[in-house]
């Protein structure tokens, strides 16, 4: 019975720790959303699946430290995409604007 309780306690602790890491993931995704870098969302989700927990915390701390430098955050995650062979195709801001402008003008004539 004592071993069972210890195992249950360890499982509970690991669930709490995993929930904490999910919080880091959502904070990172929210940062990229807030900085209008939504194109990173899907590659980041793929990265989070295979990324070690200590690397996740490292990314979070670096982004938090350089909060007002979105280009710094971009470089960090791109390095991880390359390191873990995560495919990503990122458009430049001007390409994104052109796409948004086209969709706006096509909607305005409807």
Q: So what's the pLDDT on residue 17?
A: 46
Q: So what's the pLDDT on residue 75?
A: 93
Task: State how far the alpha carbon of 1 is from the alpha carbons of 6, 8, 12, 13, 98, in Å.
Answer: 9, 11, 17, 18, 65
pTM for the model stands at: 0.66
Q: So what's the pLDDT on residue 78?
A: 94
- How does pLDDT run across 32-84, given as a tens digit for each residue? 999 999 999 999 999 999 999 899 999 999 999 999 999 999 999 999 999 99
Q: So what's the pLDDT on residue 92?
A: 60
Q: So what's the pLDDT on residue 88?
A: 84
Q: So what's the pLDDT on residue 12?
A: 46
């Amino acid at each position: 019975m004592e071993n069972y309780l210890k195992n249950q306690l360890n499982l509970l602790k690991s669930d709490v720790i995993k929930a904490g890491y999910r919080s880091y993931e959502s904070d990172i995704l929210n940062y990229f959303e807030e900085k209008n870098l939504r194109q990173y969302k899907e590659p980041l989700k793929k990265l989070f699946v295979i990324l070690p927990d200590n690397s996740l915390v490292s990314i979070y701390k670096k982004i938090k430290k350089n909060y007002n430098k979105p280009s710094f955050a971009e470089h960090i995650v791109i390095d991880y995409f390359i390191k873990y062979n995560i495919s990503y195709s990122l458009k430049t801001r001007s390409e994104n604007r052109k796409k948004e402008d086209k969709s706006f003008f096509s909607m305005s004539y409807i």
